[in-house]
Structure 1
Amino acid sequence: MKNLKMIFLKHSFYKLILLVLLVSASAKAQIQKVEPPFWYAGMKNPELQILFYGKNISQYEASVSNNVVIKNVEKTENPNYLFVTIDTKDVKASELVFSFKNNNKVAFKQKYTLKERRANSADRKSYDASDLIYLIMPDRFANGNPKNDSNASLTEKGNRALPGGRHGGDIEGIIKNLDYISSLGATTIWSTPLCEDNDKEYSYHTYAQSDVYKIDPRYGTNDDYARLSAEMHKKNMKLVMDYVTNHWGISHWMMKDIPTKTWFNQFENFTQTNHRREVIPDTHASKIDQEVCIDGWFVPSMPDLNLRNSLVAKYLTQNAIWWIEFANLDGFRVDTYNYSDPTAMANWAKSVTNEYPNFNIVGEIWMHNQASLAYWQKDSKIGEIKNYNSNLPSVMDFTLQSQIGSVFNDDTPNWDSGLIKFYNNFAMDYLYPNTNNLLVFAENHDTDRMNHTFKYDLAKYKLAMTLLATVRGIPQIYYGSEIGMGGDKAKGGDADIRQDFPGGWDGDKNNAFTAAARTSEQAAYFDFSSKLFNWRKSNEAVHSGKMTHYIPENNTYVYFRYTDAKTVMVVFNNNAKLQTIKTNRFKENIKNYKSGKDVITGKTFDLASEITLEPKSALVLELE
């Protein structure tokens, strides 16, 4: 009898173990995704929308522990999604437990963590006009960990021999070369996107993301990205994330099981955007033109997100905030900013900056008209005409960028070409709410390479860098140009303007990361750039000073940047021959200063009567 009892007990115990295992397996099978994967206590906006994804999960009733209030539960026509909004106000950092019931019985549970925020997280300082931003395409910069060049879970494998393939650059490569970037005078890094992109080809640009909560394993891990940020902060550097609100990639996990038919913008037949962003502020625009501009897709491989759907808008807002907290970010650059619904984007920007009042966000507004650009900057008077405020702190100065590529090639200017283009550009600054918060640049990963445009003329490169270092706004340079790198986009496509940085891969014959291994040409580019931008670091007159400029004469252009305590005089000679300028015309800015010291050569110039400049040259003079 005793033996029978023992057998019965053992049998019951094994049945219990089997039942526990089955319940556990059921929970695992039921919850396939939770996004955000965790959150932070003490956020200004206490409402948190959590996406639960799993087979038929919407048939379950959700509840949560710790007396946390569920404010809303939203279901869609897809039963595999459940959006649960909770109130985290006054909820301490802790582990919550969500229970999912069916017929009043708990079918499975899901743990969810609220983490502690960093001290003073909300008051973090962002990038501004005192910074120099260094733009990197990580796949083409440096391969710090060759073991992650390919990944079994992702389609495209590493192939450096393929111009448009994945070459192996990664986060570790950036970390290993932070001292190089800092020595150039750069204080901030903007990397093109690093989240997973599982496209079959051309995935290296990473703008067609397949998982926006996960760093692409070929770049590293989420923890590697946070480590990059931490290593940069040790060196007083800032990290800017390239954020994409307009589209994802066709391989995004949601495309296999769309949450709702309105998650993405869809037409009866594939419709590409018309790229005519002028229609958005246009008071005469037709509705169909605006619809195609905003809702049309870039290409068939980039599904267009519908930010008018409140679930989508909340998802993207929380994703952005999650990355700021997780990686301790210092700012955003937002891709294709004005291709999305303008009201939704204004709400997105407002939500982010409400949480982080000092956080800077620069939007890619690829337009070549000052009024069109100014419309999109926060508190624009132009936007007020349509009762619109973008809440976007900064925009990219594409009008100036397009002029840089042509002006320094104009040896014999006329009424509307040559240096007058710069004068006219800055003469329109009254349109902008905040000119100090414009991003100024000569090129980026999408444009023609500056050095190619200048036919690798070092003198013209110096002119362009001098302009960026001394005008209003936040200067941004593109990796490799500081050592003379170029590329012919017309001939070789995007891959040619995104070449590998020499020395970033084991076995490279030339290593431009080190002074000893640079060629004489690379050294000439780098040494000038480093001296100029390291000087810029500590000069408040070019960070935030006022600007007075003078109408160009004889292909020369003079402007001053100044505060009450400091004045910098900048002089351009765009001629192919020597040029002498009389200084009496500039007395209102020279005032009682007697001389100016060139920040590059250390040579002192007498300001009493005239200054002579070499052909195709510029002077940056600190007045004394």
Structure 2
Amino acid sequence: MKKSTFLITAIFALILQSVNAQIERIEPPFWWSGMQHSELELMVYGENIAELSPKIDGIEILEVKKTENPNYLFITLDTQGQEPQKFKIVFEKNGKRKFSKNYELKERRPESAQRKGFDSSDMIYLIMPDRFANGDTSNDNHKDVVEKVNRDHQGGRHGGDIQGIIDYLDYIESLGATAIWSTPMNEDNDSTYSYHTYAQSDVYKIDPRYGTNEDYKRLSQELHKRSMKLIMDYVVNHWGITHWMMDDLPTYDWIHQFPGYGQTNYRMSTQMDPNASEIDAYYCMDGWFVSTMPDLNQKNPLALNYLIQNAIWWIEYADLDGFRVDTYSYNDKQGVAKWTKSIMDEYPNFNIVGEVWMHDQAQIAYWQKDSKIAAIQDYNSHLPSVMDFTLHDALSATFQVEEPSWDKGMIQVYENFVNDFLYPDIDNILVFAENHDTQRINQIYNSIEDYKLIMTLLGTIRGIPQLYYGSEIGMKGDKAKGDGDIRRDFPGGWETDTHNAFFAQGRTATENAYFDVTSKIFNWRKTATAIHNGKTTQYIPENDVYVYFRYNDNQTVMVVINNSKEEQTLELGRFKENLQDAKSAKEILSSSEISLGETLNIAGKASYILEIL
């Protein structure tokens, strides 16, 4: 009797083992009821799974697609009108049931579809999680990923994680930030340089060295408790060479093949150049960013829908407030427009900012939603926001100019804003002095005076300001020494650090000076409606002094930036169209009241933010 029981148990275990081996993945792993994207396309992966036929009681299967790879099935379900529920997908062969797999439609959060994304009232704090703070040392190394922690290696894993960000949310909030943009956190299983996480190996899984999917959701929840927002860095253009699909692609053309590797020419201008050769445009869009990042083919409908569903899944799962999209203008431009529109159709008030790293305003503006420039070519990206790289270029040079000329000095900043007419939505544009790919601004300018001028500008111009972690304490980094140097560890984020800049008492006097000016500007900005959505009037710089006004019906702000080393005297009669009969103003940086008479003196390398009384 005992032998018989043992035999039955063993057979049953073997059957279960066989069933589990048959299906290795179903993606998305679950979905939600009440979604506009109600035609859900499940990617089912398992050995010879295409030999089987799926059946579901109570939910219509609209289509079953097979590819040249028998290890994949794509099953399209109609979830329209379906209530939250768990159900079984039964897999049959020749009409006989082989096994079943559980699946779930979850209940959506109330008003999920109407979530409000980040906007011009926000200040975004950009973090590289591996370099910010190590809140959980137990996940520094993990059995499922190759690269282990080596803080001595500039390009290695240093151990920063999600818990580290959560631990210092009070610090980030005190700085005046209202949103966090973290560089990607999905698994990157490269053997080296995996810390930046742009070469992802599993797009449904948080890298275990950062934490778990639940930890990422908890970060979102902790931010929302503070009325702050979470922006995910999403990569549509490519995955990593270690992505699990690379060992067994669903279709040959899931990625761009030449065959195999072919590198992009990085010439994004071919995307809109009416004179571009076909081969140049082809290599821009279809070429791989680098040899370790296979280029995804958004012309393939299965691949495109996989990316659309993955993006929506993360928004719904983690309750996200926005995307920053890496290398946006390297994508197949029709495919990425469909991806973007699908997300915005699902979440009309969401926001997505695309990295369009170009050096011409017309070429950047081409990529913003409803661009009149792009409309000439019958193109609409549907992308709400773009990044103001031309302003970044100006900020990297302007404050080094000692002898201003016709086209050098503060005039470079002025001229950047002259071209605002090119953008269909100038308030919804990301403005920044630096990010994780550029030279550190405090490396360019070894002066807190110049830093104050830059922060004054970023805190008061149109658009959405973004600050790169560590700049607020004067952190430097030289890109010429490698990307790792501009991505240094934040001091105090590791238990062994002897210097902790997360707290005022741990910062040096210089670090506190940087922090205080940053905090003062951006905490004031939180309620400055004229800065969020007001109009701008700018005046041609004189003696390298730049003056502009931001104003609406309720508030007028005068900004004065003196890039000259000498004290300057302004004749205020020149600004009467904005000052009207104003007699005084509150100066935000000094918290003092300033009389507005016939003239205004301003010290060399100084700035005023004047809230007109």
Q: Say whether the fold is shared (TM-score over 0.5).
A: yes
Corresponding position of 1:561:
550
Residue in 2 that maps onto 1:527: 516
Corresponding residue of 2:123: 132
Q: Is the 8 Å Cα contact of residues 31 and 54 (structure 1) preserved in structure 2?
A: yes
Query: Paired residue for 1:601, among 561, 567, 590?
Result: 590
Matches within 5 A, 1:344-383: 344-383=335-374
Contact 1:123 1:358 in 2 (8 A): yes
Query: What's the offset of the Cα at 1:349?
Result: 0.6
Trace 1:495-510 onto structure 2 (pairs within 5 A).
495-510=484-499
- Given the alignment, which residue of 466, 469, 473 partners 1:479? 469
> Counterpart of 2:454?
464
1:207 equivalent in alignment to 2:198: yes
Task: Give distance in 2, aligned partners of 1:187 and 1:14.
Answer: 61
The CA deviation at 1:15 is 5.5
3-state SS of paired residue (2:458): helix
Letter in 2 for 1:75: K
Task: Report if the CA contact (8 A) 1:128-1:437 is conserved.
Answer: yes
Q: Hey, what's the Cα distance between the residues in 2 that align with 1:385 and 1:400?
A: 25
Matches within 5 A, 1:16-31: 16-31=8-23
Point out the more displaced range, 197-206 or 593-602. Answer: 593-602
1:223-262 correspondence to structure 2 within 5 Å:
223-262=214-253
For the residue of structure 1 that corresponds to 2:403, the secondary structure is coil
Match of 2:410 in 1: 419
- Aligned residue for 1:314, secondary structure, equals helix
Deviation at 1:483, TM superposition (A): 0.2
Residue 536 of structure 1 is aligned with which of 499, 507, 525?
Answer: 525
- The letter of the residue matching 2:517 is F
Cα distance between partner residues in 2 of 1:34 and 1:270: 28
1:610: which partner in 2? 599
Answering whether residue 267 of structure 2 is matched by residue 279 of structure 1, we say: no
TM-score, normalised on structure 2?
0.99
TM superposition shift of 1:21: 2.6
| Deviation digits for residues 85-131 of structure 1 (CA, Å, limit 9, x no counterpart) | 10000111111211111121111111011111101000011110000
Q: Could you tell me how far apart the structure 1 residues matched to 2:45 and 2:412 are? A: 54
* Alpha-carbon separation, structure 2, partners of 1:216 and 1:85: 29
Q: Which moved more, 1:23-32 or 1:239-248?
A: 23-32
Distance 1:529 1:587 in 2: 30
2:167 to 173, 176, 183: 176
Q: What SS class does the counterpart of residue 435 from structure 1 fall into?
A: coil
1:191 partnered with 2:182: yes
1:3 maps to none
**Conserved 8 A contact 1:605-1:611:** no
Instruction: Report the secondary structure of 1:589's partner residue.
Output: helix
Give the gaps of 5 or more residues in structure 1: 1-6
| 3-state DSSP of counterpart to 2:219 | helix
Following superposition, the deviation at residue 16 of structure 1 comes to 4.8
Q: Measure the CA separation in 2 of the matches of 1:504 and 1:371.
A: 41
State the shift of 1:18 in Å.
4.2
Give the secondary structure class of the aligned counterpart of 1:262: helix
Q: Is the 8 A contact 1:160 1:166 kept in 2?
A: yes
Paired position in structure 1 for 2:33: 41
Measured against aligned partners, the alpha-carbon deviations of 1:60-79 in whole angstroms (never above 9, x if no partner) come to 011113x1011111111111
Q: Secondary structure at the match of 2:517?
A: helix
Q: 1:45, CA displacement in angstroms?
A: 2.0
Q: 1:326 aligns to what?
A: 317
Deviation digits for residues 17-60 of structure 1, max 9, x if unmatched?
Answer: 44433332221010101111111111012100101100000000
Q: Distance in 1 between matches of 2:599 and 2:342?
A: 54
Q: Is the 8 A contact 1:361 1:394 kept in 2?
A: yes
CA distance in 2, matches of 1:269, 1:189: 37
Matched, 1:488 2:478: yes
Q: Deviations over 1:204-249 (max 9, x none)?
A: 0000000000000000000000000001100111000000000000
Counterpart secondary structure, 1:362:
strand
Matched residue SS, 1:506 = coil
Q: Give the whole-Å Cα distance in 2 for the aligned partners of 1:14 and 1:531.
A: 73
CA contact (8 A) 1:23 1:107 kept: no
CA distance in 2, matches of 1:17, 1:39: 34
Amino acid at match of 2:381: S
Partner of 1:4: none
Cα separation, 2, equivalents of 1:593 and 1:51: 65
Q: Write the letter of the residue equivalent to 2:465.
A: P
SS in 2 for 1:547: strand
Letter in 2 for 1:482: E
CA distance, structure 1, for counterparts of residue 597 and residue 509 of structure 2: 37
Alignment of 1:430-469 (within 5 A): 430-454=421-445, 456-469=446-459
Distance (whole Å) between structure 1 residues aligned to residue 549 and residue 608 of structure 2: 12
Identity of aligned residues (%): 57
Q: CA deviation at 1:603?
A: 2.2
Q: 1:163 aligns with which of 154, 163, 166?
A: 154
TM (normalized to structure 1)? 0.97
Structure 1 residue 595: Cα displacement: 1.3
Q: Check 1:102–1:19 CA distance in 2 against 1; reply closer, same or farther (3 A cut).
A: farther
Q: Residue 303 of structure 1 aligns to which amino acid in structure 2?
A: P
